[in-house]
Chains A and B, each alone.
Chain A
Amino acid sequence: DQQVKQNSPSLSVQEGRISILNCDYTNSMFDYFLWYKKYPAEGPTFLISISSIKDKNEDGRFTVFLNKSAKHLSLHIVPSQPGDSAVYFCAATKGVQFYFGTGTSLTVIP
């Protein structure tokens, strides 16, 4: 039962343009939503999070938007850089449990 879904396995974007990564969830009781970035042969690293009571959080080039009515969140990266090329996982928490999506592989083309 996949409670967090990332329906796009991959995304390619030109350097300098905006990258938009999407995530859908099914459980309206989630407390926080997070984005993690993963390079090959490394563990995921935390990128940005948003509380379920907010609809936007921004940190430098990264902005996360939460649409609770649609049970949808997105990560915007502006401007995209080649070093952003990685797999991005969205995650949601309920109490102590974290639920991860299947990831979107982002390639930023120089």
Chain B
Amino acid sequence: DTGVSQDPRHKITKRGQNVTFRCDPISEHNRLYWYRQTLGQGPEFLTYFQNEAQLEKSRLLSDRFSAERPKGSFSTLEIQRTEQGDSAMYLCASSLVHGNEKLFFGSGTQLSVL
């Protein structure tokens, strides 16, 4: 069990640029979540996959955000035309479908939009 892995750990970009983050969940976990966290706040739900199917998206997820999990393993989160308000920690988490209510988080990607 190597844990949830996220890449990169930090990303600095200029406003208007596109960025993509990657998440590798724990291998046997079929649920994968993306959360966003800003200073002084708890993690806020963005979207969730069960295997390769994206089953739920938050209203926080504007059309500039897109997430994929093509083969039900790793996932990517892309933000197009970044804005300064997108600056946050983007957290990925995974869990099992049945009998396990826990989420296991990665270390996050800290995005700074200048």
- The CA-CA distance from A98 to B56 in the complex, in Å, is 12
Assess A46 versus B45: contact at CB under 8 Å? Given A41-B110, A96-B31, A96-B56. Answer: no
In the complex the two chains form, is A43's CB within 8 Å of B102's CB? no
Q: How long is the Cα–Cα vector from A79 to B104 in the complex, in angstroms?
A: 26
Q: How far is the CB of B37 from chain A (nearest CB, A)?
A: 9
Chain B 52-110 interface residues, beta-carbon cutoff 8 Å to A: 55-56, 91, 93, 101-108, 110
Question: Size of chain B's interface in residues, with CB distance under 8 A?
Answer: 25
Assembled-state Cα–Cα distance A93/B43 (Å):
13
For chain B, what secondary structure do more than half of its interface residues adopt (helix, strand, loop), or is it mixed? strand
* Contact among A49, A96, A97, A101 with B102 in the assembled complex (CB-CB below 8 Å): A49
List chain B residues, Cβ under 8 A from A41.
Answer: 107-108, 110
Q: Is the CB of A34 within 8 A of B106?
A: no
Residues of A37-74 contacting chain B, CB below 8 A: 41-46, 49
Could you tell me the distance between the alpha carbons of A42 and B9 in the complex, rounded to whole angstroms?
A: 10
- Smallest CB-CB separation from A47: which chain B residue? B102
Q: Are B107 and A34 in contact (CB under 8 A)?
A: no
CB-CB under 8 A from B42, the residues of chain A are 4, 6, 89, 91, 100-103
Taking the nearest CB of chain A, how far is it from the CB of B64, in angstroms?
23
| 9 closest Cβ pairs, A-B complex | A100-B42, A43-B105, A32-B101, A100-B43, A43-B107, A46-B102, A44-B105, A43-B108, A102-B42
